[in-house]
Amino acid sequence: MSTSTSGDVVKDGVHYHQFDIVIVGAGGGGMRAAIEAGPNANVAVISKLYPTRSHTGAAQGGMAAALSNVEEDNWEWHTYDTVKGGDYLVDQDAAEILAKEAIDAVIDLENMGLPFNRTPEGKIDQRRFGGHTRDHGKAAVRRACYAADRTGHMILQTLYQNCVRLGINFFNEFYVLDLITVDDADGSTQIAGVVAYELATGELHVFQSKAIIFATGGFGKIFKTTSNAHTLTGDGVGIIWRKKLPLEDMEFFQFHPTGLYGLGILLTEGARGEGAILRNASGERFMERYAPTIKDLAPRDIVARSMVQEVLDGRGAGPHKDYVYLDCTHLGAEVLETKLPDITEFARTYLGVDPVVEPVPVMPTAHYAMGGIPTNNDAEVLRTNTDVVPGLYAAGECACVSVHGSNRLGTNSLLDINVFGKRAGNNAVEYVKTAEFVPLPEDPAAEVRTLIETLRDNSGTERVAALRKTLQNDMDLKAQVFRTEESLTEVLGTIEELRERYKNIHVDDKGKRYNTDLLEAVELGFLLDIAEVVVYAARNRKESRGGHMRDDYPKRDDDTYMKHTMAYLTGDPHSSDATDHITLDWKPVVITRYQPMERKY
């Protein structure tokens, strides 16, 4: 054993580090946790990206909080909108926390230096967003605090600058591939640390820690058409799954209505908040038929389905009649250039369309995972419906608390990472005050070493890109906005076939430094795992609710399905049967004040 120049201990070629708290992921949730934990504990943040390239930076429109700066508002209305928008699958105690703590979350960011847009009086400006209403659904309300259409970018930069100010330890371009756990005789699980692969050197690092916070984001790359970055491959969720800890509500994936046609690049809902209108080929404002009260500002699941229905009914635009229009022309150049500069530039750059003078072709794009790693309101990861894994936390899109139910309201994601990222950081600090380090196994990096070497040395003929393309195309065609028993069963068959082909993949690059070929092979393994859970849970839920629309079961069924899906890995995912290793269970929905009702907008 020796000590490297960076101060860590090296044993048998593996670097060993020790921190009180390790945060996996340097997006908004991870860095918000670090800001709370950093002054009170020895903290490391591990990210496979440079922090300011994290996907939080892609969020555009805003962050909800009932500040009442522009119109009368209160947190109870925000709670109601969150519950109703989530098609009543939201845990209402968690939604109350989200809405109550939203106000402090925005003020925290303002005090950190975030440059919000301002009213003429100097207050934080607010605009309308889909599903946010006043007086329990009577009319749209201005609740979204924003920084032009770069709100996520501003949040990410602000959080990173504050982490730097606090001296947080960052391990950038380190790819966490395993959670080190120790099982007690009574069946309980203790966490001991994580194992990471350093992209620059190809070396393995073991981070021993008392507490671990997962904030690894979503997994939109299981789909072809997505607003998600290439790196959102569900690594953190996949690691938890492979450790045979449960995943919750994985069938619920949100398809954002306004993705650039054919590309999926996001055009913020803030455009509709400023007054943009969705139109079909004949110029009709079709959302007046589907949501007569708040029209284009209905929740995302309703708008996305309405858009697809217009196309299916022959009212789509373009040579193939396969998209609709987002009409911003009436907003004027000043509004578009000052309040919506990014989306204006996106349309010009990627489609050659100028929103100032012509409507923009749009269609739904895979955007956000409502399901993920189950947690309680303290961000502690659950191992059953009620029991937690001591010292293990999750926050942000990788987690399911569940404040989004079956459909997240726009602006609640940036709010979620700040409210529950903060809670995760604070609760981890309290935990490590009395916790001890769990002794590491003899060779804690063994599984990751085997994974890396097997993939690198495999002499197969299958190409990672080809397998990934097949998966994503099938998910787009058969498990996107509309689903059926038949289509979902076909996808499971595809995944089973791809698992077999994955055993025969070939990685061209045999090197160790920045081996992105190898990295994508690892990510494909996670994508296959996650896609399978999503589709399996979707086939099991024989109703339509929120982001999960079953053409063969078009009604919501509260008598049978007013409950969360809990998925468990109970067998070998590489067995010949594509589903015999997954067991599904249920968890009750927490209802406090809002009984399930028909959603009318």
- pLDDT, tens digit, for every residue of 41-65? 999 999 999 999 999 998 888 999 9
Catalytic residue positions, numbered: 300
Strands 482-483 and 549-550: parallel
Whether 579 has a pLDDT exceeding 60, the answer reads: no
What CA–CA distance (Å, rounded) separates 139 from 141?
6
Q: How far is CA 500 from CA 131, 449, 519, 577, in A?
A: 43, 22, 19, 11
DSSP assignment, residue 348? I
Q: Quote the percentage of the chain above a pLDDT of 70.
A: 98
- State the chain's mean pLDDT as an integer: 94
Tokens of 286: 């079709």
Nearest alpha-carbon partner for 242 in 447, 498, 469: 447
pLDDT digits over 498-512, tens only?
Answer: 999 999 999 999 999
Whether 519 has a pLDDT exceeding 80, the answer reads: yes
pLDDT score of 576: 55
**Mean pLDDT on 481-487:** 96
Nearest alpha-carbon partner for 249 in 486, 559, 536, 29: 536
Question: In whole angstroms, what separates CA 390 from the centre of its chain?
Answer: 24
pLDDT score of 571: 80
Contact between 565 and 537 under an 8 Å Cβ cutoff? The reply is yes
Tokens of 100: 């109550």
**Mean pLDDT on 240-256:** 97
Tokens of 323: 């998209």
Q: What b/e sequence results for 51-64 when a residue is b if at least 16 CB atoms lie within 10 Å of its CB, and e otherwise?
A: bbbbbbbbbbbbbb
pLDDT score of 574: 67
DSSP for 240-258 reads HHHTT--EE-TT-EEEEEE
pLDDT digits over 183-198, tens only?
Answer: 877 777 899 999 999 9
**Mean pLDDT on 527-541:** 97
Contacts of 415 (CB under 8 A, 6+ apart): 63, 64, 65, 98, 102, 105
Q: Is the dihedral of CA 393, 396, 400, 401 positive or negative?
A: positive
Whether 577 has a pLDDT exceeding 80, the answer reads: no
Which pTM was predicted?
Answer: 0.95
pLDDT score of 5: 39
pLDDT score of 3: 40
Strands 373-374 and 399-400: parallel
Q: How far is CA 543 from CA 456, 538, 546, 549, in A?
A: 43, 9, 10, 7
